Amino acid sequence: VDGASLLAVVSHAEESSLMPPHLKAAALAAAVRQWSRVAEAAESCPSDLSSTRQAELGALNRVRHRDGHVCGSLEEYLHAAVDDLTDWERNMPLDAPQSTKKKLEGSWQHWHQILFEYGHIFGAENAERLRDRVRTRRRELLEDRKRQRGETLRLPEGKVWFEATAEWQEVPPNGICAAGLEYRLDMQTGRNFARLAM
């Protein structure tokens, strides 16, 4: 199918209230899979597909190339990815290898990249609200993992487990760190920071 035809079909699907949902989903999936052709057609011939929706479909095409998922909207993808990633994080064994933790962090970084695109298309305020909710949810998960790991290791009184992520975090003076992390010392303040070695 040529790009102009796909563009016409997806434009009609977006506007039609009578088209059955499974046909709308099929039109969207076809447009996302063949996005380069559809984008070319959109540049050369006028369509009813807004530039915002075109940008969103382009981002969904990149998601499909990386993850193999086709979603109806970036918001749908972001929420589904948060659910999957937090489940992965929640169910990851406390003694999971660093390579597994790095894969998880890499997936979170990809999520943040897509969130950045979402903010560019739909407004930074919307993206920041979602980022704040997710940040709070992850912080709660990390605190729970720290507590569980400390109990499992039977850390001495006053010691806490340091749960590293891909981002630099301050290591508390009483923190116990896993092997294989990257460390940084702030020479002015004497504070230590650590993250997963990427």
Using alpha carbons, list the distances in angstroms from residue 89 to 84, 86, 102, 167: 9, 5, 11, 16
pLDDT score at 26: 85
Determine what percent of the chain is predicted with pLDDT higher than 90.
Answer: 46
pLDDT score at 110: 93
Q: What is the mean pLDDT of residues 100-110?
A: 92
Side-chain-facing half-sphere of 168: CA atoms under 13 Å: 8
CB proximity list for 190: less than 8 A, separation 6 or greater: none
Q: What is the DSSP letter of 46?
A: -
pLDDT at 78 over 90: yes
Q: What is the mean pLDDT of residues 41-69?
A: 84
Q: What is the mean pLDDT of residues 132-150?
A: 91
Pick the closest to residue 151 from 176, 184, 185 (CA basis): 176
